[in-house]
Structure 1
């Protein structure tokens, strides 16, 4: 009886997942295949006339190939930001877990505050202007790293707690210093959580709309290209959904190929021992 209930629950979960994820994605795909007049009806129906290739060419070439420049900017932003997040958060998580001190409660409070307290846009812009980083890619990279560190530190600290301290002692006896101990012994053991952080944060940074809008005016990222086909008075739904489809593909591919590593990294620090 219990097994039957579990099977029914699993089937219900699958159906809900299909409704929540597959149906919207199918609607996006179908609308991207339609010409402008047919797409403006916003109907969940098979296209009477296929215009996907024409929509694709128009989206890519719009505004002097802005989408291509946006992909370049978003790729640089994502790669650099996530790389810095992984390195810094792994080091902070290692120190917090391996070297307890009186400052640890304060640091833990600050880390949790980064997850709870919403970012203040105006003071952040003021700070970036003082550093002469407002309106350029390095400034946005700094913002993305600062906003993503809290989650990454918590992930690494939970995983590091499962690594035996005997490895630290053995490496220290062999003459390894703190940096060598971390990068040659500890860091390779963090592979599963590193993959999880890379995938989760890459999708978050790549899909970020708010931070580029506020802190990188005048420079396109993939999410800001949605403005190209949407305005106050009219919206080209066929081109808008084609654009959405194009910028959805990279995160979707990452999740498909790394889903097992994501689950392993998310659950690795849940049970100690």
Structure 2
């Protein structure tokens, strides 16, 4: 018994060390470099800064390209809120129906959902579709793209959790005269609180940190999102490493805070279906 406990402690210690190496050391390097001048940052070494110019770097990052970072934060915030709101509501509805109504089409729907997780997106045909409906280079068009790419994961999450909710609650609500819409929003939706928080945090971080989709489907400086502002400090012949890492630090803070404050809810939502089901 003691041997097993020692092995568990040893495995836990190794996991902590590996996590520190993979996550904390790169973050520490970003933080230290953001305090340096351009000359010292260009060395790309893990040394303490000689001159602390963090606030000067932050001011320079915000002022670059007529305060492009401010516009990017606004665009990313709108994109994240709209995409996640639509994604969560639609995925909850689909997951509820798939878990509650058994039909011969459920296998087909499950295959399509899994295909949404496995099949890579086709960029050129998607651009052609967006151009055909007049949504290319527009924020609503990118919202639809994010919803389409993120729904498969959310549907699987909601369907797994809904299967743990007793069907007697549905029957009691129907006996009390609740229709389908009222049944879902008054009875079912409040019961999905933990998995809703999980879906919101995971997808909000994914959408906020998305680089490829805004690059392909939302070109233009006025449409820039936070990840695309990294191009401001890189060129073919030179890179302002101090400003680049300061920009990375600034756009990392919102997702990092979400994970810190909602870590427990994320774990509960991800494991609820597996534990109860």
TM-score tier, shorter chain, comes to over 0.9
1:89 aligns with 2:91: yes
Q: Does 1:124 align with 2:118?
A: no
Q: Secondary structure at the match of 2:273?
A: coil
Aligned residue in 1 for 2:57: 55
CA RMSD of aligned residues (A): 0.6
Secondary structure (helix, strand or coil) at the match of 1:75 reads helix
- The 5 Å alignment of 1:82-231 reads 82-218=84-220, 219-231=223-235
Residue correspondence of structure 1 range 27-66 to structure 2 within 5 A: 27-66=29-68
TM-score, reference length from structure 2: 0.98
CA distance, structure 2, for counterparts of residue 231 and residue 189 of structure 1:
50
2-structure distance, mates of 1:8, 1:142: 46
Matching residue of 1:247: 251
CA distance in 2, matches of 1:130, 1:107: 27
2:71: which partner in 1?
69
Alpha-carbon distance in 1 for matches of 2:124, 2:91: 26
Per-residue displacement from partner, 1:186-230 (whole Å, max 9, x unpaired)?
000000000000000000000000000000010110000000001
Partner residue, 1:266: 270
Runs of 4+ residues deviating >4 angstroms = none
**Distance in 2 between the 1:92 and 1:268 partners?**
18
The DSSP-based 3-state class of the residue aligned with 1:202 is helix
Cα distance, 1:271 vs. partner? 2.8
In 2: Cα distance, 1:224 partner to 1:166 partner: 49
SS state of the match for residue 270, structure 1?
helix
How many Å separate the matches in 1 of 2:235 and 2:79? 26
Partner Cα distance (2:99, 2:133) in 1: 32
User: What CA distance in whole angstroms lies between the structure 2 residues aligned with 1:33 and 1:112?
Assistant: 45
Structure 2 unaligned regions, length at least 5: none
Shift of 1:159: 0.2
Q: Number of residue pairs matched?
A: 273
TM-score, structure 1 as length reference: 0.99
| Distance in 1 between residues matched to 2:11 and 2:98, nearest whole Å | 40
Q: CA deviation at 1:62?
A: 0.6
**C-alpha distance in 2 between matches for 1:30 and 1:94:** 47
Deviation at 1:272, TM superposition (A): 3.5
